[in-house]
Amino acid sequence: MMATRIDPEALALQRLYHWEKTAPDRVALTQPQGGGVVRDYTWREVVDQARRMAAHLQSLGLQPGDKVALLSKNTAHWMMSDFAIWLGGFVSVPLYPTLAAGTIRQILEHSESKVLFVGKLDGWAGMKPGVPAKLPCISLPLAPDDAVKSYPSWDDITARTAPLAGHPVRPADELATLMYTSGTTGAPKGVMHSFGAFAAALSFGLKRVPLNEQSRMLSYLPLSHVVERALVEHGLLATSMHVYFAESLETFTADLQRARPTVFFSVPRLWVKFQQGINTKMPPAKLNLMLKIPILGGIVRRKILGALGLQECTFAAGGAAPMPLELLHWYARLGINIAEGYGMTENIGATHISDGNPTGFGTVGRPYDSVQCRIDATTGEVQIASPANMLGYYKEPAMSREAFTEDGWLKTGDKGAVDAQGRLKITGRVKDLFKTSKGKYVAPAPIEDRLVMHGALEACCVTGANLGQPLALAMLNIDAIKKAAQPAGRAELESSLAAHVKVINETLDPHEQLDCLVVTAEAWTVDNDLITPTFKVKRNRIEDLFAKNYDAWVEERKTVIWYKA
């Protein structure tokens, strides 16, 4: 519904040619190879390799617009593969590198992918059965040994293939990618995005997110997620910033310290983990006291930020889920004001972002330029008009129509409110509201935000439709699981969690107060289908597994209950 002119020179391939011509020797990507070895790739190398692979893909007899899938953790060759797919005239289909075999097969078959790139993966043995036997595959550098032995390799192909010549272009309205949603409410849907949608998102996004050729970012959240794809991959194409990749979870701190990112984006879960790591080394009360002492406070801040690798970070952001207010204020005391972004796969994750000012904590700020936001008067749903909105869901015309209002606004499924300053506050999901047996509605998200701030909890879910009061389920983190294994540690943990629930309940309306907190040591993972690849809890699955126990738990009349499978 919004006609926005896109400068052709802002489109992905044109940006690729621009850097190939004007900055061929500038380092674009830095990739850890393992064993302490790090490899830099200049624009000349990046585009040359992408051109060679594009020529190879064309030689396979693929037709323009065919789908080519990509299954890998973030690496330099993930991006080169994407560029090659676009150069060849094809559509990229990125898959999360943590998906189960059944979901991989579902996406590959639904997208009708003709080729699959297999790259760096931790669980390839479990994923491989999901790859159709006749689907041609190409192994990327750093791929599992089995993939390297089974499939033609990127290095061999590019060594023997001449680079694609010329400067083929793709129109702004042409399909660039299918991005499959993480599936909190069912089977993943293939979100269709054009080249123009990404260019539009970058055009207004860069007015609020300070990326330029001097910027550095660490790419570690899945590139198959829309925010990483837009902010890092398309941010690189727009600005020629320097992108570093992470090697592993074990080396993450060293990877951050190598990159010294000037812009750092993360999900709330990781921001919480950083905080918990600091709290284990320095008690919160002692840290707060030290931060209040002028000279000492500055020294402590620099030391903590240096240990995190964030000493040169000038713009920090969070997204994918609400950031607890307590967490935002904690980081502000360290000198990091976290801007909260808002969006979804269907609009390239780019509709709102706050300015990081503490006066706006708890909101996601104002809409980007060219983005319009409204709140449905009946449901309270946030609805968006944007040039970055999707073309629709692949092969799902009815679902595509349902995703938009009659006048063309995207339905987000989120509930929200706009304050006097025009800032949007997300208050929950339209369908996440549940009604207790007392006829009162409960919004779970704000309660969960408070609960998860306890240092022992990894994730939580507030539920209780048709119960007298809500209850919460929570997964313990690794340290808490170890502590709970000892009777004294378990008793201390139970007391601490009960006190945490008591404090939270005192802030809630009577109908929202939690009856109990049920804790489990069993991990909620992608494999057991309790969370999505972006760490969002699947409420429907929680209900399926645990609802049969709700009445019994309530009858126990205990604040903290230990779940036994």
pLDDT tens digits, 298-348: 898 888 888 888 999 999 999 877 788 888 988 998 888 999 999 999 999
- Do 440 and 418 reside in the same domain of the chain? no
Q: Among 429, 451, 486, which residue terminates a domain?
A: 429
pLDDT tens, position by position, 204-231: 999 999 999 999 999 999 999 999 999 9
Kindly state whether residues 486 and 366 are assigned to the same domain: no
Q: What is the 3-state secondary structure (H, E, C) of 63-122?
A: CCCCEEEEECCCCHHHHHHHHHHHHCCCEEEEECCCCCHHHHHHHHHHHCEEEEEECCCC
Whether residue 90 is contained in a domain is answered as yes
pLDDT of 53 reads: 98
Specify whether 546 is located in the same domain as 403: no
Q: Could you tell me if residue 352 is inside a domain?
A: yes
Separation between Cα atoms, residue 99 and residue 122, nearest integer Å: 11
- What's the distance, CA 239 to chain centroid? 22
What percent of the chain clears pLDDT 70, i.e. is strictly above it?
Answer: 98
Q: Helix crossing, 284-291 with 294-308: angle to 10°?
A: 120
- What gap in Å lies between CA 375 and CA 61, rounded to an integer? 48
Q: Confirm whether 184 is domain-assigned.
A: no
Q: What is the mean pLDDT of residues 39-52?
A: 98
- Lowest-confidence region among 165-169, 185-189, 233-237, 538-542: 185-189
Residue 534, pLDDT above cutoff 70: no
Compute the distance between CA of residue 42 and CA of residue 401 in angstroms, rounded to an integer.
43
A 10 A CB-CB count for 377 gives: 7
Q: Could you tell me the pLDDT band of residue 3, with boundaries at 50, 70 and 90? A: low
**CB of 260 closer than 8 Å to CB of 311:** yes
Q: Are residue 423 and residue 277 in the same domain, yes or no?
A: yes
Q: Residue 262 and residue 245: Cα distance in Å, rounded?
A: 14
State the pLDDT at residue 275: 86
Q: Is residue 4 part of a domain?
A: no
Mark whether 335 and 290 lie in a shared domain: yes
Q: Same domain for 233 and 277? A: no
pLDDT in tens, 114-173: 999 999 999 899 999 999 999 999 999 999 999 999 999 999 999 999 999 999 999 999
439 lies in the same domain as 418? no
pLDDT band at 4 (very low <50, low <70, confident <90, very high): low
Query: What CA–CA distance (Å, rounded) separates 352 from 410?
Result: 14
For residue 440, pLDDT over 80 is answered with: no
For 213, half-sphere exposure in the C-beta direction (CA atoms, 13 angstrom radius) is 7
Boundary (domain end) residue, out of 394, 409, 429: 429
Domain endpoint, select from 378, 406, 429: 429
Does residue 180 sit within a domain? Answer: no
State the residue for tokens 């990739």: 31
**Amino acid sitting at position 423:** R
Give a yes or no: residue 258 inside a domain: no
For residue 214, the SS3 value is: coil
Parent domain of 228? 11-170+206-242
Tell me the pLDDT band of 34, cut-offs 50, 70 and 90.
Answer: confident
pLDDT for 182 equals 64
Q: Are residues 419 and 523 in the same domain?
A: no
Say if residue 97 is in the same domain as residue 222. Answer: yes
> 422 and 280, same structural domain?
yes
Evaluate if residue 200 carries a pLDDT over 90.
Answer: yes
Mean pLDDT across 506-535: 82
Q: How much of the chain exceeds pLDDT 90, in percent?
A: 61
CB count within 10 Å of CB 306 equals 13
> What pLDDT score does 2 carry?
46
Partners of residue 460 on adjacent β-strands: 474
Number of domains in the chain: 3
Is 413 part of a structural domain of the chain?
yes
* Range 310-313 contact pairs with CB under 8 angstroms and sequence separation of 24 or more: 310/256, 310/261, 310/264, 310/336, 311/260, 312/216, 312/260, 312/261, 312/262, 313/261, 313/262, 313/263, 313/264
Residue 512 DSSP one-character state: G
Asked whether residue 281 falls in the same domain as residue 406, the answer is yes
d(CA 57, CA 452): 47
pLDDT in tens, 164-199: 999 999 999 999 999 998 655 557 899 999 999 999
Residue 183 pLDDT: 55
Give yes or no: residues 376 and 484 share one domain: no
| Domain CATH for 363 | 3.40.50.12780
**pLDDT single digits (tens) 378-426:** 889 999 999 999 999 999 999 999 999 999 999 998 889 999 999 999 8
CA–CA gap between residue 317 and residue 536 (Å, rounded): 18
Does 219 map to a domain?
yes
CATH number at 512 reads 3.30.300.30
